[in-house]
């Protein structure tokens, strides 16, 4: 961190300068540290629960529809590497293995730090307009390397042309009307849906992605590896199903 304090070299008035310097540094540490700590405290715990009225709307996209017994809600950002990791290691299998018993809702929370997250969310929502939301959701994550990261694969990409070309390929593969897909992506209706998801995310005190809720309770894994998180999430679902 570019942070250093030059100790006063002036001989004539060291004390006023030293006091001021220390003052500036201390105030900065208190403010930054305070914001970081309170922010940091809020992240993992956040609000532990959120009402289903906030988490799920009538028209929220459902990947699976297995009744009301267990509802999983995921707030996600299509370009977020952690979300792609969750998809590959945790949620894609859950969708398959638990699909007939749980309702899995996914909602948008594109972060500003991911330049292609918003276009990707628009693509998913536009596909939803042609009743192919789940197909596009899968295409986006299954082919994450084709659009979300650079060709070398080690950086978040900001190449929007490449991403849009990839979205078009996915759209063709899942049989969308491309003209309509393009119109819908740029439409107010899609923009409003994404904004509404973000607004609900804020009500639910979601600050990062992915954030998962099981029956309104936030899932906060303690595992270090995806293997552990995967097991914890499945245990959690089993417990909810057993109730």
Partner 1 sequence: MSETASVTTPAATDGSLGRTVRWLYVVGGGIGLVASFVLMVEKIALLADPNYVPTCSLNPVLSCGSVMATPQAAAFGVANPLLGVTGFAMVLTAGAALIAWFRPPRWFWLALQAGTTFGVGFVHWLIWQSLYSIGALCPYCMVVWAVTIPLFWYTTLHNLERGHLTGRSSGAVLVRYHSAVLALWFVAIIALIAVRFWDYWSTLV
Q: Write out the two tokens for 69.
A: 């017994």
When asked if residue 8 is in the footprint of partner 1 (CB under 8 A), the reply is yes
CB of 7 to partner 1, least distance (A): 7
Binding range to partner 1, per CB under 8 A, among 8-16, 62-70, 128-136, 222-230 = 8-16
Using CB under 8 A as the binding rule, whether residue 38 contacts partner 1 is answered as no
Q: Which one of the spans 28-36, 129-137, 159-167, 168-176 is the region binding partner 1 (CB under 8 A)?
A: 28-36
Instruction: For the chain, list the strands marked E by DSSP.
Output: 61-65, 71-76, 103-108, 211-214, 217-219
d(CA 173, CA 139): 9
Q: Which of 11, 58, 59, 161 binds partner 1 (CB under 8 A)?
A: 11
* 161-190 residues near partner 1, rule: CB under 8 A: none
Distances (CA, A) of 239 to 34, 54, 67, 71, 113: 37, 23, 16, 13, 35
Q: Which of 57, 115, 205, 226 binds partner 1 (CB under 8 A)?
A: 115
- E-state strands within 41-195: 61-65, 71-76, 103-108
Quote the tokens at residue 51: 């009402």
The answer to whether 199 contacts partner 1 (rule: CB under 8 A) is: no
- Of 188, 190, 189, 201, the residue nearest 167 (C-alpha): 190
What 96-100 contacts at long range (C-beta under 8 Å, 24+ apart), as own/partner pairs, is 98/64, 98/66, 98/70, 98/237, 98/241, 99/63, 99/64, 99/66, 100/64, 100/66
Q: How many residues bind partner 1 (CB under 8 A)?
A: 45
Angstrom distance (rounded) from CA 6 to CA 175: 64
Nearer to partner 1, 81 or 223 (CB): 81
Q: What is residue 106's three-state secondary structure? A: strand
Binding flag, residue 10, partner 1 (CB under 8 A): yes
Determine if 242 is a binding residue for partner 1 (CB under 8 A). Answer: no
CA distances from 179 to 122, 176, 186, 211, 219 (A): 14, 9, 11, 33, 39
Q: Which of 59, 112, 161, 188 binds partner 1 (CB under 8 A)?
A: 112
Among 30, 39, 98, 180, binds partner 1 (CB under 8 A): 39
Q: Is 32 in the site for partner 1 (CB under 8 A)?
A: yes
Nearer to partner 1, 12 or 242 (CB): 12
Work out which of 34, 44, 51, 227 binds partner 1, going by CB under 8 A: 44
Q: Does 222 bind partner 1 (CB under 8 A)?
A: no
Sites of contact with partner 1 (CB under 8 A)? 1-13, 16-18, 20-21, 23-25, 28, 32, 35-36, 39-40, 43-44, 80-82, 111-113, 115, 150, 152, 154-156, 158, 207-209
């Amino acid at each position: 961190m570019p942070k250093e304090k030059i100790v006063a070299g002036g001989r004539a008035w060291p004390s006023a300068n030293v006091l001021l310097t220390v003052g500036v540094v201390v105030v900065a540490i208190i403010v930054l540290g305070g914001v970081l700590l309170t922010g940091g405290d809020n992240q993992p715990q956040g609000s532990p629960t959120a009402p289903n009225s906030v988490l799920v709307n009538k028209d929220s996209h459902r990947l699976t529809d297995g009744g009301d017994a267990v509802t999983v809600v995921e707030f996600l950002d299509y370009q977020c590497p952690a979300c792609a990791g969750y998809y590959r290691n945790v949620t894609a299998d859950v969708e398959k293995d638990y699909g007939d018993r749980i309702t899995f809702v996914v909602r948008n929370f594109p972060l500003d730090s991911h330049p292609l997250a918003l276009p990707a969310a628009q693509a998913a929502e536009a596909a939803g307009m042609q009743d192919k939301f789940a197909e596009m959701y899968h295409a986006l994550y299954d082919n994450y390397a084709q659009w979300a990261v650079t060709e070398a694969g080690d950086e978040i990409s900001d190449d929007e042309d490449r991403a849009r070309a990839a979205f078009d390929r996915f759209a063709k593969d899942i049989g969308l009307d491309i003209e309509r897909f393009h119109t819908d992506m740029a439409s107010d209706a899609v923009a409003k849906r994404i904004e509404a998801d973000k607004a609900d995310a804020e009500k639910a005190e979601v600050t990062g992605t992915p954030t998962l809720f099981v029956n309104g309770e936030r899932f906060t894994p303690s595992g270090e590896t995806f293997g552990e998180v995967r097991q914890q999430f499945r245990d959690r679902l089993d417990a909810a199903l057993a109730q």
